[in-house]
Every structure is written in structure tokens, then in C-alpha cells.
């Protein structure tokens, strides 16, 4: 085994697969803090649809397999969304901690 092959094996052992899916469901928020890193505020209405969120979960789990164990839902204020309980249920159905 060459030095480079040995180095490649060492690097591969250091790769940590992703454990968490984090979805910013919306940038709408009931507040409008000056220091908000996403610029969230009550005026913004755009949000991920339930289908988009499901698709991102499915794509992530398909690509990364068993390493994914957690689904984080954030915003903005994700509780303003009517689909929040449905995506929580969907994540739980995939045995994710939500
Ligand atoms: S997401 Fe957090 S920081 Fe941003 S406006 Fe809402 S409460 Fe403030």
C-alpha cells in the first residue's frame, strides 16, 4: 500500500456522515429582530409546502441512508405554519427524532 493510499483511507475514516436534516420552513416570523440572521419578519409569507418538506426528507434519507436520525424544523417561526404537525408526523413515521 502506498503512502497516498494509506492517507486516503485515513481521510475516509474521518468523514462524518450527516445526522440531522434541518428545514427552515419559513422566514415568516411574529417578530422582526434587527439581528435576525435570516431577515425574518411578519410580512414574509413564503414557506415550504408540505410536499417540499417531505421531498427534502426523502431525498436526504435516500442519499445518506441510516446516518440521518434527526429532523429539525426552524424558521422564522415554524409554528405559524399549518403543515407543522403533518411534517412532524411524517418525520416520526420515518423514525426520526423531530
Ligand atoms: S427568527 Fe428569531 S431572530 Fe429572527 S425575527 Fe424571528 S424571533 Fe427574531
Q: What is the pLDDT of residues 34-70, one digit of tens each?
A: 999 999 999 999 999 999 999 999 999 999 988 999 9
Mutate to test the pocket of ligand 1, among 24, 27, 29 (most ligand atoms within 8 A of CB): 29
Q: How far is the CA of 43 from the centre of ligand 1 (A)?
A: 13
Residue at 82 is within a domain: yes
Is 68 within 8 Å of 91 (Cβ atoms)? no
**Bigger pLDDT: 62 vs 81:** 62
Residue at 4 is within a domain: no
Who's near 30: CB < 8 A, 6+ residues apart?
Answer: 42, 77, 80
User: Count of domains in the chain?
Assistant: 1
Residue at 9 is within a domain: no
Residue at 10 is within a domain: no
Residue at 44 is within a domain: yes
Question: Which residue, judged by its Cα, is nearest atom 1 of ligand 1?
Answer: 76
State what percent of residues in the chain have pLDDT above 70: 91
Q: How far is the CA of 96 from the centre of ligand 1 (A)?
A: 26
Q: How far is the CA of 71 from the centre of ligand 1 (A)?
A: 20
Amino acid at each position: 500500500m502506498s503512502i497516498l493510499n494509506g492517507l486516503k483511507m485515513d481521510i475516509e475514516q474521518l468523514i462524518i456522515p450527516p445526522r440531522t436534516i434541518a428545514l427552515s420552513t419559513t422566514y415568516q416570523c411574529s417578530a422582526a429582530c434587527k439581528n435576525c440572521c435570516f431577515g425574518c419578519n411578519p410580512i414574509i409569507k413564503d414557506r415550504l409546502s408540505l410536499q417540499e418538506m417531505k421531498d427534502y426528507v426523502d431525498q436526504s434519507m435516500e442519499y445518506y441512508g441510516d446516518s440521518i436520525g434527526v429532523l429539525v424544523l426552524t424558521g422564522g417561526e415554524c409554528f405559524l405554519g399549518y403543515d407543522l404537525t403533518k411534517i412532524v408526523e411524517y418525520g416520526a413515521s420515518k423514525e426520526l427524532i423531530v
